[in-house]
């Protein structure tokens, strides 16, 4: 026997708030923002994916004129190196929010050192990944940290600010020093 749905039952019971769900247009905009943060054109996406992601198809997803299945969204996010949740959470634009004590980290250099058995490097990398995720920043090459972010690094690494700075300088993880604390 098939179960019937009682139309008088509240629709929000044990279900997500449908008015707060993301629309396909917001997901499409976030998809475009992720690609742009990585400084990729649609043609570059097609080339780097070796034709798996056609420029016209990705562009259609980004404009919201083509349906994006969950499987395709997961694959595309994997290609960009971002979690699928990046499509469903708001990004924080860090541009213009730099404090005078901000530092720019070279994420490429940090990733290149992950093969070494250096606990400090792994701690820094994990914190920076968390910050990127919470900001919705998927550039993947550089990251600017603010004073609060640096305070978090001192807590996690259990180093005093001067020790932290010295360890980061020694490993050459800074891309540019704006005004170290």
Last residue of one domain, picked from the residues 57, 87, 117: 87
Last residue of one domain, picked from the residues 55, 87, 119: 87
- Contacting residues for 73 by C-beta, under 8 A, at least 6 apart: 27, 31, 84, 87
CATH code of the domain in which 44 resides? 1.10.260.40
Confidence grade of residue 48 (pLDDT, cut at 50, 70, 90): very high
43 domain residue, yes or no: yes
Residue 137 has pLDDT above 90, yes or no: no
* Residues 74 and 130 both lie in one domain: no
Structural domain count, the chain: 2
Last residue of one domain, picked from the residues 56, 87, 118: 87
Percent of the chain with pLDDT over 90: 20
The residue with greater pLDDT, 7 or 139, is 139
Q: Are 54 and 106 in contact (CB under 8 A)?
A: no
Residue 18 has pLDDT above 80, yes or no: no
CATH code of the domain in which 143 resides? 1.10.10.1930
* Residues 169 and 111 both lie in one domain: yes
* Residues 78 and 52 both lie in one domain: yes
The domain of 157 spans 103-177
* Residues 32 and 82 both lie in one domain: yes
pLDDT tens column, 83-96: 888 787 654 433 33
Ranges assigned E (strand) in the chain: 103-106, 142-145, 174-177
Q: Are 138 and 81 in contact (CB under 8 A)?
A: yes
Residue 178 has pLDDT above 70, yes or no: no
């Amino acid at each position: 026997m098939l179960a019937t749905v009682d139309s008088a039952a509240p629709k929000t019971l044990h279900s997500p708030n449908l008015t707060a769900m993301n629309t396909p247009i917001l997901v499409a905009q976030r998809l475009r923002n992720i690609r742009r943060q990585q400084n990729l054109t649609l043609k570059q996406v097609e080339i780097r994916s070796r034709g798996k992601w056609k420029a016209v198809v990705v562009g259609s997803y980004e404009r919201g004129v083509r349906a994006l299945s969950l499987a395709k969204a997961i694959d595309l996010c994997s290609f960009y190196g971002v979690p699928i949740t990046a499509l469903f959470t708001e990004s924080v634009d860090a541009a213009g929010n730099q404090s005078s004590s901000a530092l720019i980290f070279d994420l490429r250099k940090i990733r290149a050192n992950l093969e070494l058995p250096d606990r400090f490097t792994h701690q820094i990398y994990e914190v920076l990944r968390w910050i990127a995720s919470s900001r919705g920043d998927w550039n993947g090459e550089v990251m600017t940290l603010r004073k609060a972010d640096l305070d978090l690094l001192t807590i996690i690494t259990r180093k005093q600010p001067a020790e932290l700075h010295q360890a980061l300088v020694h490993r050459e993880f800074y891309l540019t020093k704006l005004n170290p604390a």
